[in-house]
């Protein structure tokens, strides 16, 4: 394989080539919307991302983009666990580029770890049926660390009405004033989950710039006693962030609705809020024109999330593997 250039990401001028690469991969891999082009762009353009050093592009002798990789590194003070996202054009797979991309990711992560005197771990994902990629990851020293399920439910089937506990109200995020209490609720909801990293208001504010973001689908449950109090004393108890995604290469009337985030604050659990928020999200997605609802869940979660999803009609669609390697 003749690679002419390895270079960093240049921003908007690279997006036509990146979109073409993703389309070529999706045509072969049936990637669905686990990470859509718009979501990848949101990651690539994030102000916190070091575009010069944490994104790499590989081009062939005709200046055609054949490989793309980025390292997503959450802030941490003890160990850096970076996720390596990468795409390789189907025409050049199994010719060594995957190995080059992994080596690039390891080298960059090692540099960051050395600078902060921190231990480092590299993570990446593969779908369970992608045996060729799994074989490459195993050869490069990765080990299976976790399993995740993509689950789906038809929205044509009846959806039970959500039943909220007394003195709780359903509303949605309403701009800047809700960002900080939402972040506090999120972190308190997921602090005891596997591989949790605290979110910041800056990150959530940036997420809201996503072209798929609709505030009316970013649902929150507010405790009733705070409804009678002033705005400043409101208590966000649970959340269900939903998105509508247009299906690629299919009838324009086909839309997938995604339950992107669902959680309940620690001190409001065991009250039925999670199920109520999930059902409310399904109703909102259906009203917004979605035909199917999808979500991703940790198959090994101790919260009972998979059981909850199955109880309202979700069924496993795909299995994804998270791989890890100490660098």
- 74: pLDDT strictly greater than 60: yes
Domain membership of residue 291 as a residue range: 152-320
Boundary (domain end) residue, out of 80, 113, 141? 141
Does one domain contain both 167 and 259?
yes
Phi and psi at 213, nearest 5°, equal -75, 130
Q: Which of 110, 57, 103, 107 is nearest to 80 (CA)?
A: 110
Interatomic CA distance for residues 131 and 283, integer angstroms: 37
pLDDT band at residue 116 using 50, 70 and 90 as cut-offs: confident
Q: Which of 309, 275, 272, 280 is nearest to 294 (CA)?
A: 309
Tokens 């090994």 -> residue: 300
Does one domain contain both 259 and 210?
yes
pLDDT band at residue 46 using 50, 70 and 90 as cut-offs: confident
Per-residue model confidence (pLDDT) at position 233: 57
Q: Which of 26, 24, 27, 46 is nearest to 35 (CA)?
A: 26
Does some domain include residue 326? no
Sequence-ordered strand ranges (E) for 128-202:
143-154, 168-172
Q: What is the mean pLDDT of residues 52-74?
A: 93
- Give the number of other Cβ atoms within 10 Å of residue 101's Cβ: 23
Does one domain contain both 134 and 177?
no
Domain count, the chain: 2
Does one domain contain both 134 and 174?
no
Helix axes 97-116, 131-139, angle to 10 degrees: 50
At 145, which helix (H) or strand (E)? strand 143-154
pLDDT band at residue 43 using 50, 70 and 90 as cut-offs: confident
Helix, strand, coil percent values for the chain (each to nearest 5): 35, 30, 35
Boundary (domain end) residue, out of 112, 141, 170? 141
The CATH code of the domain that includes 229 is 3.40.630.30
Q: What is the mean pLDDT of residues 229-250?
A: 74
pLDDT, tens only, 296-316: 999 988 778 999 999 999 999
Does one domain contain both 125 and 183?
no
Are 28 and 94 spatial neighbours (Cβ–Cβ below 8 Å)?
A: no
Least confident of 70-74, 161-165, 205-209, 222-226: 222-226
pLDDT band at residue 96 using 50, 70 and 90 as cut-offs: very high
């Amino acid at each position: 394989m003749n690679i002419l250039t390895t270079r960093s990401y240049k921003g908007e001028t690279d997006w036509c080539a990146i979109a073409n690469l993703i389309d070529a991969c999706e045509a072969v891999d049936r990637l669905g919307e686990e990470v859509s082009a718009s979501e990848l762009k949101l990651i690539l353009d994030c102000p916190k991302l070091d575009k010069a050093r944490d994104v790499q592009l590989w081009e062939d002798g005709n200046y055609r983009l054949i490989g793309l990789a980025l390292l997503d590194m959450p802030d941490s003070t003890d160990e850096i666990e970076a996720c390596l996202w990468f795409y390789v054009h189907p025409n050049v797979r199994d010719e060594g580029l995957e190995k080059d991309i992994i080596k690039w990711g390891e080298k960059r992560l090692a540099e960051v770890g050395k600078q902060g005197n921190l231990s480092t771990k590299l993570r990446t994902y593969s779908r369970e049926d992608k045996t060729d990629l799994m074989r490459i990851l195993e050869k490069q020293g990765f080990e299976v660390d976790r399993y995740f399920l993509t689950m789906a439910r038809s929205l044509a089937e009846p959806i039970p009405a959500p039943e909220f506990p007394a003195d709780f109200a359903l509303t949605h995020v309403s701009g800047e004033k809700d960002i900080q209490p939402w972040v506090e609720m999120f972190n308190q909801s997921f602090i005891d989950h596997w591989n949790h990293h605290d979110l910041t208001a800056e990150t959530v504010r940036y997420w809201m710039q996503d072209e798929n973001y609709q505030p009316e689908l970013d649902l929150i449950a507010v405790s009733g006693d705070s409804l009678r109090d002033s705005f400043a004393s409101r208590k966000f108890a649970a959340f269900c962030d939903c998105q509508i995604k247009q299906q690629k290469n299919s009838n324009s009337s086909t839309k997938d609705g995604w339950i992107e985030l669902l959680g309940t604050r620690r001190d409001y659990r065991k009250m039925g809020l999670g199920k109520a928020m999930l059902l409310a999200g399904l109703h909102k997605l259906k009203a917004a024109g979605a035909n199917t609802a999808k979500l991703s869940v940790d198959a090994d979660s101790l919260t009972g999330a998979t059981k909850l999803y199955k109880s309202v009609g979700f069924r496993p669609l795909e299995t994804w593997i998270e791989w890890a390697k100490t660098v």
